[in-house]
Amino acid sequence: MAQAAGEAVATDMRPAFNIGGILIRMRSAVCALLLLVQLGFAQGVHPITGRHYAGVMGVGGADWLVRPEREGEEHPDEALDAIGITAGSTVADIGAGAGYMTWRMAERVGPSGKVYANDIQPKMLDLLRHNMAERKLTNVTPVLGAVDDPKLPRASIDMVLLVDVYHEFSEPQKMLQRIRESLRPDGRIVLLEYRGEDPAVPIRPEHKMTVQQVKAELEPEGFRLDRVSEVLPRQHILIFKKSVQ
């Protein structure tokens, strides 16, 4: 009798075990699907151009940002000459990293000007503060931004500079809206991007952009292309102003 009862219990338990296994597999499948969705957002594409967003460089790449070869490859001072920065102006360096462009901008605006140095990584801003202190520059304000907001003051910036940064934005449309709000009526947004049209430029494709891509993505957000400079060996300089809305 006891054996028969034991057999009955065992028989009753087998379907319950199978249901549990199905639930576990379903839960695993849902988790995997959620992970794929998250990765899809992290490696998203622009809704207009279909361009894949590149990942953000972490603080571990800070040394690469200030490598000695960079001056010969990118000609940063020539880029700023072409852009034109007025002494006493208020400018912003978005994605400033360790401050490679920030300190050059700070020297150009002078003590009566101001540079907002934005980054979304606190450790990058720590490096930037150290580099500004070493150069005894006191006209730089570090700003910890978010992926969808650079946290700049409204209607107060003369020029916003993005050097090899825009293509990394995971929320480019929201960022552009906030940047537009930060600009004065005659303010400019300037992008330096490796030439996507040139296969000889030794950069991964997701870190390059064409002029047409940049125009297609910025113009719907309230900007118009003012001019393009091709004085640099590898990068476009794309200068936009606010369009009338």
Vertex 180, ends 176 and 182: CA angle to 5°? 120
106 and 210: one domain? yes
Please give the pLDDT value at position 66. 76
Cβ pair 240, 216 in contact under 8 A? no
Question: What are the counts of helices (DSSP H) followed by strands (DSSP E) for the chain?
Answer: 8, 8
Please give the pLDDT value at position 58. 75
69 and 34: one domain? no
Whether residue 47 is contained in a domain is answered as no
Q: What is the CATH classification number for the domain harbouring 183?
A: 3.40.50.150
83 and 190: one domain? yes
Please give the pLDDT value at position 191. 98
Task: Please give the backbone phi and psi of residue 19, each rounded to the nearest 5 degrees, phi first.
Answer: -60, -40
How many domains would you assign to the chain? 2
Rounded Cα–Cα distance for residues 232 and 163 (Å): 13
Whether residue 50 is contained in a domain is answered as no
Rounded Cα–Cα distance for residues 100 and 33 (Å): 40
Rounded Cα–Cα distance for residues 222 and 72 (Å): 34
Counting as low any pLDDT under 50, the low residues of the chain are 1-17, 22-24, 28-42
Rounded Cα–Cα distance for residues 13 and 17 (Å): 6
Please give the pLDDT value at position 37. 37
87 and 207: one domain? yes
132 and 173: one domain? yes
Q: Which amino acid is at 158?
A: D
Rounded Cα–Cα distance for residues 145 and 147 (Å): 7
> What percentage of the chain has pLDDT greater than the value 90?
74
Q: Give tens-digit pLDDT for 140-169.
A: 999 999 999 999 999 999 999 999 999 999
H/E stretch holding 91: strand 90-94
In eight-state DSSP terms, residue 245 is -
In eight-state DSSP terms, residue 45 is B
107 and 220: one domain? yes
